[in-house]
Amino acid sequence: MGGNGAGKTSLLEAIYLAATSRSFRTARLEECARRGTTAFHVALESAGAPARHELTLGWSAEGGRARALDGKRGRLGEQLAAFPLLAWTEAESALVDGPPAVRRRFFDRGLVIERPAMLAELGRYERALGEKRALLARGGSDGELTAWNELLASSGATIAAARAEFVDELAAGLGVALAATGLALPAIALRYRPSPATATSGADEILASLARAAAAERARRLPLVGAQRDEIEILWDGAAARRSASAGERKAVGLLLMAALAHRLAASERTPALLLDDADTELDRTRLERLMAAFAPFPRLLVSSNRPEVWPASAALAEVDVAALAAAATGPP
């Protein structure tokens, strides 16, 4: 708990930085350094199942980023597997009514935790897509375009198959999470719409679609088909939730999706830690209490709020004074 500016989000961001080597607030690590400094270092020690680990991230203007797991430099996938973490932040507030990229990022985050090999696959796709974008911008040859399309089709088929399966699994878990809350909400469903529509049929189907789109892509000088245009629809009583749900209902749906994702990962023996930043905004006390029931099975749950009066006693969360914690950690300014 703490008022505006007390450092609640900064505390959650520090945990996220150590666990993922990234910030949920900015793509520029230099912006995470304390004002007036040119470096920072964060460390996170995880206890309990499956094992105890120490994760660290350092950054300096001179040396850039340096991450370590148990004192050794390693791959990002190893770090993510060592401390599975899900976060609800301001960025997730657009999960229901924002652009498709927000939903892809949310679902891919869970997919990577459950299946660490997908991190490399998504990386391969993004690198090939970047090369194709550059080729289209400069007007490269047909042979070059075909070569990149073949790579994108192969990687895209793997991504489409994994996303389709994961969305189906999560849709089933969504009903379990909703039942745990006892909320009387309309039926919530998920629908995966890949690009192209036949993407789950394999690489050959994707490659054929890319070939058909080649002329239009050259004319517009940008990729028009592929996993970067996938959509995951969130349906509310059969209609798009972004159009029919209120702000409070969209927040409830988003948190239910977060809970369903956490339950899915727990079932695959990758129980995540959970960070919920300002989880109570746009929610009344009754709905908040019901939603917290979906997170009850998770012992590593950190929730921030500047409205302690709305938090129900049944949430069973220990209160931490963030300002006092920050002062103890850093000393006087």
- Is the model's pLDDT at 332 over the cut of 50? no
pLDDT digit string, tens, across residues 30-60: 888 888 888 999 999 887 656 788 999 999 9
Contacts of 332 (CB under 8 A, 6+ apart): none
State mean pLDDT over 80-103: 90
Residue-level pLDDT at 48: 62
Domains of the chain: 8-330 (1.20.1050.90)
State mean pLDDT over 211-240: 94
- Is the model's pLDDT at 333 over the cut of 50? no
Which pairs count as long-range contacts for 317-323, CB under 8 Å and 24+ apart, including other chains? 319/1, 320/1, 321/1, 321/2, 322/1, 322/2, 322/6, 322/7, 322/8, 322/11, 323/2, 323/3, 323/6, 323/7
Top-confidence residue, 282 or 256: 256
Range from 31-45, 198-212, 250-264, 266-280 that averages highest in pLDDT: 198-212
- Is the model's pLDDT at 170 over the cut of 70? yes
pTM above 0.75, yes or no: yes
Tokens matching residue 267: 């079932």
Residue-level pLDDT at 87: 92
Specify the 3-state DSSP secondary structure of 41. strand
Q: Mutual orientation of helices 100-114 and 142-181 as an angle, nearest 10°? A: 80
- Is the model's pLDDT at 303 over the cut of 70? yes
Residue-level pLDDT at 34: 85
State mean pLDDT over 163-187: 88
